[in-house]
Amino acid sequence: MNYLLDLQSFLPGIIVAVAGLAAIMLEAFKKSANTSFSVTIGGIAVALLFAIQSLYGEAGTAFSGMIVYGGVGAFGSVVVLLGALFCVTISREYLRDLDLHNGEVYGMILFSTTGMLGLAVSNDLITLFISLETMSICLYVLAGLMKNEKIGAESALKYFLLGAFSTGFLLYGIALIYGATAATNLTEIAAAAQPTFLFLCGTGLLFVGLFFKVAAVPFHMWTPDVYQGTPTTITAFMATAAKSATFVAFVLVLTRMLPSSEIGDWQSVLQVVAILTMIVGNLIALAQDNVKRMLAYSSIAHAGYLMVGLAAGNEAGYAGVLYYLFAYTIMNAGAFGVIAYYERNHGLDFTEIDSYAGLGFKVPVMGVMLSVFLFSLAGIPPMVGFIGKYYVFAAAVQAGLIPLAIIGVLASAASVYYYLRVMVYLYFKEAHKEYSLKTPGFLFKWTLILLAVLTVYYGVEPVLPTSSLMELISSYYTV
Amino acid sequence: MIEIDWYLALSAVLFTIGLVGVLIRRNAIVIFMCVELMLNAVNLTLISFSSYHGDVTGQILVFFSLAVAAAEAVIGLAIILAIFRNNLSVDITKVNLLRW
């Protein structure tokens, strides 16, 4: 046993956890949220470097098979850390305006990120459970940041009660799988699994727990309420990093625990959930008048597109899901960032679509960037969202799931309506009254510009001769 | 020696009581207690299987699940307290600002 090697393979998580402790302690002893902020940025950036380094390293398992390193896990870690980094950089200005800027917020974000990193590399149901709970418990706290506002407390309560409820299912699933196979390690389970009643019930309950966390229909009811009642930049954190981590864990469970179709036809289950999620998410989003709530339903719809990749169940599908998570993290963090910018000028009710009338010309760079992010979310080329959708739907076609791909493309076409509606308000409606917008801060503005540039760059990258990201991801599944 | 089926049946019944409680009760604290009941029912399942298989992994998971339940209780009661301060009630039917 080489413990040093084990620790090294989970280095990003350890760095983030230590930075989290430092952020909390600095707040307690120095009362300086700005120091906590710097520590947070530094910790995440260093962890990100190590995670990127391990992308190109070899893959394997560590801690007696409890976690994986390299490959899928490394890519998941990179996506999670990117999401966390962008959300933290845009959080400072926004939280300052809400008068919520204190070091504990960063501590909670970092602890939550530690959980996500564990989730993205879990190779054992125990790791999966503990990481998921570390992530969720910190997110319950973050959801309740605006504890003196009624909607803040309400969103925290809803998230907490439903989250704890779903934990019960997840844990019962783990217990039944353990009972059926006498193992909690994903590969050992795969070796010992028989399609008995006990095992099928257990896997079903495990899936219910995971569906809940990724907000798949019919377990999505908490999403819009929680997303609306949470400070917008924290919502971005939940929608990008938390969702990515859970999806990577889902990919690991599907590829390592359920590699053969002899132990239950889970691909059909995923297909049904994918169809429901895409249709329900997009249809309800059409009727939303609040931009933040619209993005919440759109995030449900995007969970549906990701489910299409999982349902395809082939290498291209899993690789597509990973690419999509990267794309989704970039464009969604950006969209929530611009909304946070508009909102912090005028308070929480400034997310109604009416108040966006004529805003596009006020601070042109922000209007243009919101348009870029929304075009990307709608899946219009040459944005990264289009490439992501192309990969998952192409994988579904390759797996022979033509009807699923058709429903996905149609649902995606319907989604253009509600994204473009925001832009119509931004540019083609007269403002009811004159609003003045503050100039965005340096860090805030350049983070969003970087996100917009990445959104466009990775939209054209696959057609360039230097195309590399998808090849990198695909290499995890072809070896 | 009592057979494992009885333990499993007991924990399934407890889990169902908790589940039904979450769905029909209106008091946030009672709902939370029902969630805890569900988690403890699962712990019982884990211990029975662990003893049945002669393998300690299940019992280790129980310790983790107890720790998680304790952490959840801390956060949960704090959130319920925040709700009480805002609404002067922990009745979840009165927590209805956000819908659709």
Compute the nearest-CA separation of A149 from chain B (Å). 8
| A374 burial type by CB count under 10 A (0-12 exposed, 13-18 middle, 19+ buried) | buried
Compute the nearest-CA separation of B13 from chain A (Å). 13
Compute the nearest-CA separation of B93 from chain A (Å). 11
CATH number, residue B66: 1.10.287.3510
Taking 70 as the threshold, does the pLDDT of residue A266 lie above it?
A: yes
User: Which residue stretches of chain B are H helix?
Assistant: 4-24, 28-53, 57-87
Rounded to an integer, what distance in angstroms lies between the CA atom of residue A269 and that of residue A291?
A: 31
The reply to whether A316 and A232 lie within a common domain is no
Contact: B49, A151; criterion CB under 8 Å: no
Taking 80 as the threshold, does the pLDDT of residue A463 lie above it?
A: no
Taking 70 as the threshold, does the pLDDT of residue A48 lie above it?
A: yes
* Tokens, residue A67: 């976690």
Which bin fits A335, alpha (ψ -120 to 50), beta or left (φ > 0)?
A: alpha
pLDDT of residue A32: 83
The reply to whether A247 and A304 lie within a common domain is no
The answer to whether residue B52 is domain-embedded is yes
The answer to whether residue B29 is domain-embedded is yes
Rounded to an integer, what distance in angstroms lies between the CA atom of residue A408 and that of residue A392?
A: 10
Of A230, A264, A298, which marks where a domain is finished?
A: A264
Kindly report the number of other CB atoms within 10 A of residue B74's CB atom.
11
- Tokens 């009362």, residue? A31
The reply to whether A477 and A344 lie within a common domain is yes
The reply to whether A5 and A112 lie within a common domain is yes
Question: How is chain A split among helix, strand and coil, in percent rounded to 5?
Answer: 80, 0, 20
Of A200, A232, A264, which marks where a domain is finished?
A: A264
Q: What is the pLDDT of residues A117-152, one digit of tens each?
A: 999 999 999 999 999 999 999 999 999 998 888 888
pTM: 0.95
The reply to whether A394 and A322 lie within a common domain is yes
Q: Which residues of A touch B (CB under 8 A)?
A: 126, 129-130, 133, 137, 140-141, 144, 147-151, 153-158, 160-161, 164-165, 167-168, 171-172, 174-176, 178-179, 182-184, 224-225, 228-229, 284, 287
Of A207, A242, A264, which marks where a domain is finished?
A: A264
The reply to whether A235 and A270 lie within a common domain is no
* Tokens, residue B67: 């720790």
For residues A235-244, give the mean pLDDT.
95
> How far, CA to CA in Å, does B49 sit from each of A215, A331, A421, B12?
31, 45, 55, 13
The reply to whether A165 and A272 lie within a common domain is no
Contact: B72, A183; criterion CB under 8 Å: no
Contact: B57, A155; criterion CB under 8 Å: no
Contact: A171, B42; criterion CB under 8 Å: yes
Query: What Rg, from alpha-carbon coordinates, does chain B have?
Result: 17
pLDDT of residue A347: 66
The reply to whether A319 and A352 lie within a common domain is yes
The reply to whether A340 and A458 lie within a common domain is yes
Q: In percent, how much of chain A has pLDDT > 70? A: 98
| Total number of domains in chain B | 1
* Tokens, residue A112: 């939550």
User: Angle at the Cα of A278 (from A275 to A281), degrees rounded to 5?
Assistant: 135
Amino acid letter for position B52: Y
- Residue A67 β-bridge partners: A62, A122
Mean pLDDT of chain A: 91
Q: What is the pLDDT of residues A328-343, one digit of tens each?
A: 999 999 999 999 998 8
B18 or A441, higher pLDDT? B18
Q: What is the pLDDT of residues A168-218, one digit of tens each?
A: 999 999 999 999 999 999 999 999 988 899 999 999 999 999 999 999 989
Contact in structure between A19 and A42 (CB atoms under 8 Å)? yes
Rounded to an integer, what distance in angstroms lies between the CA atom of residue A372 and that of residue A357?
A: 18
The reply to whether A338 and A273 lie within a common domain is yes
Rounded to an integer, what distance in angstroms lies between the CA atom of residue A71 and that of residue A59?
A: 5
Q: How confident is the model at residue A5 (pLDDT cuts 50, 70, 90)?
A: confident
Transcribe A360-401 into DSSP letters: GGTSHHHHHHHHHHHHHHHT-TTSHHHHHHHHHHHHHHHTT-
Rounded to an integer, what distance in angstroms lies between the CA atom of residue A86 and that of residue A143?
A: 18
**Could you tell me if the ipTM is greater than 0.85?**
yes
Q: In percent, how much of chain A has pLDDT > 90? A: 71
Q: What is the pLDDT of residues A372-390, one digit of tens each?
A: 999 999 999 889 999 999 9
pLDDT of residue B88: 83
Rounded to an integer, what distance in angstroms lies between the CA atom of residue A400 and that of residue A172?
A: 34
* Tokens, residue B61: 């998971």
Amino acid letter for position A167: T
Taking 70 as the threshold, does the pLDDT of residue A465 lie above it?
A: no
Contact: B79, A153; criterion CB under 8 Å: yes
Rounded to an integer, what distance in angstroms lies between the CA atom of residue A303 and that of residue A282?
A: 11
Picking from A141, A145, A154, A352 by the largest number of B CB atoms within 10 A of its own CB, the best residue to mutate is A154
Q: What is the pLDDT of residues B28-75, one digit of tens each?
A: 999 999 999 999 999 999 999 999 999 999 999 999 999 999 999 999
Q: How confident is the model at residue A424 (pLDDT cuts 50, 70, 90)?
A: very high
Nearest to A104 by CA among A40, A158, A152, A153: A40
Rounded to an integer, what distance in angstroms lies between the CA atom of residue A351 and that of residue A240?
A: 20
For residues A37-54, give the mean pLDDT.
95
| Total number of domains in chain A | 2
The reply to whether A257 and A274 lie within a common domain is no
Compute the nearest-CA separation of A336 from chain B (Å). 19
The reply to whether A278 and A140 lie within a common domain is no
Contacts of A358 (CB under 8 A, 6+ apart): A426, A429, A430, A431
Q: Which domain holds residue A382?
A: 266-479
